[in-house]
Structure 1
Amino acid sequence: MNKWLFLVIAIFSEVSASLALKAALEAPAWYAVVVCGYAGAFALLTVCLRLGMSISVAYGVWGAGGVTMTALASALLFGEDLTWLMGLGMALILAGVLAVEIGSHQPERIAIPEEQ
């Protein structure tokens, strides 16, 4: 399977666990989802690393995706505030992760033969 697919599933697992943590405040049975979600997220993140994804890219995308999706989902599910400043912050986080991803690919150097 593709390492990016494992990363996307890891993000969804972590977001589910974070949202369940909020739900567990009212219904403690949700703590089972919290434990399974975080354990699954870390296991899937490990798979991404074993498949060759760099830690800077994997953790950056995982963190940025998790923060963004959790903020959006908590606004929808729990009625939490979502302000324009938070949106700007999420955009900056995503831009930073994109910069790390692009920067992680070194350009190929073309050897130019020396003139004699």
Structure 2
Amino acid sequence: MAWLILFLAGLSEVAWAVGLKYTEGFSKPLASIVTLLFLAVSIALLGWSLRILPLSLAYGVWVGIGTVGTAIASVLLFGEALSVLKLIRLGLIVAGIVGMKLAS
């Protein structure tokens, strides 16, 4: 269950990171509120997962999910470039996440 909670925390991190783009410097009230809600949910779920998972593992996986998810969302939503080097680097992050999970 802790892994599912951590995964949801990572997805919430992606949501608030993407939401930051839509807030336009927190000048859009609705987008700002939604972004801050996802931020609070992400932190709360991460904290909840830390009741069971070690900090180094949970934080590393949370950041990795957020990084990879935000990069993918940026390509899909904002048309950011996706080069072969970027894919390789994202793959290395995923490999690190998998390695952290296997080490637990």
**Same structural fold, with TM-score higher than 0.5 when normalized by the shorter chain:** yes
Secondary structure, counterpart of 1:82 in structure 2: coil
The structure with the larger Rg is: 1
How big is each residue's C-alpha offset from its partner over 1:12-37, in whole Å with a ceiling of 9 and x where there is no partner?
11111011101111861211122111
More helix by share: 2
Structure having greater relative contact order (Cα 8 Å, sep ≥ 6): 2
**Correspondence for 2:53:** 53
**Correspondence for 1:70:** 70
Bigger shift: 25-34 or 6-15? 25-34
Structure 2: runs of 5+ lacking an equivalent: none
How many residue pairs get matched? 102
TM-score by length of 2: 0.88
Decide whether aligned partners of structure 1 residues 8 and 100 sit closer, same or farther in structure 2, where only a CA change above 3 A counts: closer
Secondary structure, counterpart of 2:50 in structure 1: helix
Question: Aligned residues: percent identity?
Answer: 38
TM-score by length of 1: 0.80
Q: 1:63: how far off?
A: 1.0
Runs of 4+ more than 2 Å apart: 97-104
Contact 1:56 1:100 in 2 (8 A): no
Structure 1: runs of 5+ lacking an equivalent: 105-116
Secondary structure, counterpart of 1:6 in structure 2: helix
* Superposed CA RMSD: 1.5
Bigger shift: 87-96 or 24-33? 24-33
